[in-house]
Amino acid sequence: SPGETGRILDCRVDSSGEVLAIASTDSEHRLLRFSFNALLAITLQSSSSLVPAHADGIALDAATTHVFTVGFEQPGGQADISVRRAASATYVTAIWSRQQAGAFGGDDRASAVAVLQGGDLAVVGWVETGASDRRGWIGRFAP
């Protein structure tokens, strides 16, 4: 459970039937793995911190059993789009990650991700183009 002040932002079911979910509390984002038994009771299998990233979207690649999370990181003040790939069993060790700062200097965030047929990623979110102006953003990544 993400706790009383937390929330579940996104989830996917892997090939073994376990649920991977991104949970957010006031202080961090975590990747949760849990399963249901025959009586539909929930068992938390593991919980990994996503720090320093703030993740909002998750996707699974069935061919590689890798998990992808997207959101943002704040390495120097402004938020930059964050895309991360890791083995689902050992999420704390990234296999591949990218950060992308928008051309306009404001906050930039990814909110959802999907694995395309060839294994590339379609990532969507938004970039700030001015003091109070945000534009939709779509990117393609080849991890």
pLDDT digit string (tens) for 38-62? Answer: 666 677 766 777 666 788 899 998 8
* pLDDT mean over 121-135: 86
Number of domains making up the chain? 1
* 1 lies in some domain: no
* pLDDT mean over 9-34: 84
Single-letter code of the amino acid located at 19:
V
Single-letter code of the amino acid located at 92:
V
* 2 lies in some domain: no
Six-digit token string for 125: 């979110």
* 113 lies in some domain: yes
- Asked whether the beta carbons of 80 and 125 are under 8 A apart, the reply is no
Q: What is the CATH number of the domain that holds 16?
A: 2.120.10.30
Six-digit token string for 127: 């970039």
* pLDDT mean over 12-27: 84
The helix (run of H) or strand (run of E) holding residue 55 is strand 54-61
* 61 lies in some domain: yes
Task: For the chain, give the mean pLDDT.
Answer: 80
Q: Using CA atoms in the order 4, 82, 133, 137, what is the torsion angle rounded to 10 degrees?
A: -120
